[in-house]
């Protein structure tokens, strides 16, 4: 299983963009990169996923490095509701198992 490294915590001002990095240098060529977030006392919520090229959806953008050893989740305008723990999870093809790392706790300042 690919290991991940994320900052323990980050802060952002409300309505400013946030870039959440993730290092997954041991990822293999067919592993998708998933991002989830977890609000206090709730189950994780799907944010976005990608394989090679950058991806956008209504929640966020995912920028994947050309060598796929790292990725960055981009929240274009942080709101107070975006305060959560963000997890990046490389999914080993065929196993279906998510291995959660420690994630990044995002604090959004009003």
Min. distance of Cβ 84 from another protein in angstroms? 13
Q: Tell me if 88 sits within 8 A of 101, measured CB to CB.
A: yes
Residue from 18, 22, 62, 91 touching another protein (CB under 8 A): that is 91
Binding of another protein by 80 (CB under 8 A): no
DSSP 92: P
Q: Are 8 and 106 in contact (CB under 8 A)?
A: no
Based on the shown chain and the rule CB under 8 A, indicate whether residue 29 belongs to the binding site for another protein.
no
Check binding of 98 to another protein (CB under 8 A): yes
Residue 32: which of 43, 24, 42 has the closest Cα? 24
- Return the number of the residue (13 or 102) whose C-beta is nearest another protein: 102
Rounded CA gap, 91 and 4, in Å? 11
Q: Which residues are at the interface with another protein (CB under 8 A)?
A: 30, 32, 34, 36, 38, 41-46, 49, 51, 87, 91, 93, 96-103
């Amino acid at each position: 299983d690919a290991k991940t490294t994320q900052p323990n915590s980050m802060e952002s001002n409300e309505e400013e963009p946030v870039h959440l990095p993730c290092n997954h240098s041991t990822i293999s060529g067919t592993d998708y990169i998933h991002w989830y977030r977890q609000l206090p006392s709730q189950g994780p919520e799907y944010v976005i996923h990608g394989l090679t090229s950058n991806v956008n959806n209504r929640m966020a953008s995912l920028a994947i490095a050309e060598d796929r050893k790292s990725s960055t989740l981009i929240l274009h305008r942080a709101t107070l509701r975006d305060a959560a723990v963000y997890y990046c999870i490389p999914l080993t093809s065929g196993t279906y198992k998510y291995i959660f790392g420690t994630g990044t706790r995002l604090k959004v300042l009003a």
